[in-house]
């Protein structure tokens, strides 16, 4: 177990930048579909780019090899080569115009071993700038002096969620190896049909609308600045994860009003987030009376009935918001916290997703149910709350361009205090890396207690 502090940087120079259009086989006609509508889930996604980094040591594919594979796979994933536009009714759509995906080549002035662990500065240089970008996806290939390459893929969240992005990366690697794309993406965004009559059973206005807005009240924010943000990587070994899960499953729970030994077995995700929520709340110095919640993305593909195919191209995400007071995180058991999280996630079920579809269709003209541009905050923070992005189910080891799996897979730097990414270790030993952004003023206490589960 360790905490990795990022402290060194490298020089990265952009060598070339161009647009890549799809390549179509002679027996594969171009679809006559001119545009793709946004669903109620796409409109709820923030207008921001989500970057991911894949590092490959030699031997690895050449840039031209990756480029050709990318052009081939874009024939199946045309949305990434398209642009946002409007239909005849003024609604935002994805234009399938094949204008192209941004493709950037860059070089670094050192070996990848000298650059790892990546600093925030390095991570940002490995990721192409998407300020004012019209492209819906951007790729950057950065070559190091040792021959290693870092593949960066950044995509606009309105177009799809992380589940589809992970599938796209596998499809890209299949195209590079000359394999057929399997499974092929499902492009039908007309599958989320409201019920007749509508049946809105939940207070979506207080959840999906109100809670999507980040608190910027200066009176409740700590007196820190953007310059105080610090990125930490925590390594949780299988042994540590087992201890946390055992503690969460064996400690007494009062969450349901029943004292005694808990018979529930919580997931790895629930136990790790329960632990981190408790630790970060203490490190932040929140009081017993302070309320705090965790924003957790919930994938609706398996939760909806009938299930939405895994290869569906788009967003199928709503959020759970487990909430409690500081005193419960300080005084109650780890099992209590895990149960708060478990119950909140379980409640975002088939009925909840369908209720939201009905709600959104009844309120189609509500501007709060349209994509929101993530603006620059003076102090970018989710304070006193957390936001969690889980990549634990993503099959990163299947992203093999023909030379083996990646040596490193990680998100780029997300400059929001309170943001957490959970990423499985590519070595496949069951360990997990947590990428956490905090204020440096809380780092000392955080380091003291982050591996303490007693």
Residues with catalytic roles: 157, 400
In Å, the largest CA–CA distance within the chain is 68
Which residue pairs, CB below 8 angstroms and at least 24 apart, start in 176-185?
A: 176/61, 176/65, 176/66, 176/68, 176/69, 176/401, 176/402, 177/69, 177/400, 177/401, 177/402, 181/73, 181/76, 183/309, 183/310, 183/311, 184/76, 184/311, 185/76, 185/77, 185/311, 185/312, 185/313
Strands 372-373 and 46-47: parallel
Peptide bond before residue 47 is cis, with ω within 30 degrees of 0: no
Strands 432-439 and 137-143: unpaired
Report angle CA 64, 67, 69 to the nearest 5 degrees. 110
Can you tell me whether residue 421 is helix, strand or coil?
Answer: strand
| CB-CB contact of 61 with 416 (8 Å) | no
Query: Which strands form 101-108's sheet, in the order they lie side by side?
Result: 12-20, 101-108, 137-143, 149-156, 49-56, 408-411
Residues 6+ positions from 108 with CB-CB distance below 8 Å: 10, 11, 12, 115, 142, 143, 144, 145
Q: Per this entry, what is the length of the chain?
A: 454
Which residues partner with 51 through β-bridges? 154
Which residues partner with 408 through β-bridges? 55
| CB-CB contact of 450 with 3 (8 Å) | yes
Give 122's DSSP letter: H
Distance CA 375, CA 372 (A): 9
Distance CA 139, CA 72 (A): 15
Q: How far is CA 309 from CA 157, 300, 315, in A?
A: 19, 10, 12
Distance CA 291, CA 31 (A): 51
């Amino acid at each position: 177990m360790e905490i990795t502090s990022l402290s060194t940087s490298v020089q990265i120079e952009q060598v070339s930048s161009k647009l890549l259009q799809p390549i179509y086989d002679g027996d594969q006609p171009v679809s006559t579909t001119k545009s793709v509508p946004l669903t109620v889930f796409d409109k709820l996604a923030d207008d921001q780019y989500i970057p991911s980094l894949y590092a490959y040591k030699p031997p690895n594919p050449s840039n031209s090899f990756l480029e050709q594979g990318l052009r081939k796979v874009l024939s199946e994933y045309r949305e990434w080569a398209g642009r946002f536009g409007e239909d005849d009714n003024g609604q935002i759509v994805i234009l399938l115009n094949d204008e192209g995906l941004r493709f950037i080549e860059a070089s670094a002035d050192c070996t990848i071993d000298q650059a790892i662990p990546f600093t925030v500065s390095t991570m940002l240089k490995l990721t192409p700038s998407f300020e004012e970008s019209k492209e819906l996806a951007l790729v950057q290939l950065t070559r190091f002096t040792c021959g290693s390459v870092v593949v960066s893929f950044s995509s606009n969240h309105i177009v799809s969620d992380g589940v589809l992005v992970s599938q796209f990366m596998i499809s890209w690697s299949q195209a590079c190896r000359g394999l057929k794309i399997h499974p092929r993406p499902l492009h039908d965004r007309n599958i989320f049909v409201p019920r007749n009559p509508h049946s809105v059973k939940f207070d979506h206005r207080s959840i999906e609308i109100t809670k999507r807005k980040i608190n910027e009240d200066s009176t409740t924010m700590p007196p820190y600045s953007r310059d105080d943000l610090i990125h930490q990587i925590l390594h949780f070994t299988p042994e540590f994860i087992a201890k946390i899960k055992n503690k969460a499953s064996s400690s007494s729970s009062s969450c349901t009003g029943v004292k005694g030994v808990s018979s529930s077995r919580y997931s790895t995700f629930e136990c790790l987030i329960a632990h981190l929520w408790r630790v970060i709340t203490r490190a932040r110095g929140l009081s017993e009376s302070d309320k705090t919640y965790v924003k957790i993305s919930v994938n609706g593909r398996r939760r909806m009935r009938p299930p939405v195919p895994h290869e569906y191209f788009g967003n199928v995400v709503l959020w759970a918001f487990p909430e409690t007071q500081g005193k419960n995180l300080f005084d109650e058991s780890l099992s209590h916290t895990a149960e708060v999280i478990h119950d909140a996630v379980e409640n975002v079920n088939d009925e909840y997703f369908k209720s939201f579809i009905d709600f959104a269709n009844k309120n189609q003209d509500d501007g709060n149910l349209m994509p929101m541009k993530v603006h620059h905050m003076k102090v970018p923070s989710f304070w006193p709350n957390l936001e969690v992005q889980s990549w634990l189910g993503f099959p990163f080891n299947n992203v093999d361009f023909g030379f083996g799996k990646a040596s490193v897979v990680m998100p780029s730097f997300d400059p929001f205090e309170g943001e957490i990414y959970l990423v499985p270790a590519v070595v496949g030993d069951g360990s997990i890396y947590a990428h956490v952004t905090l204020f440096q003023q809380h780092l000392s206490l955080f380091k003291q207690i982050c591996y303490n589960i007693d």
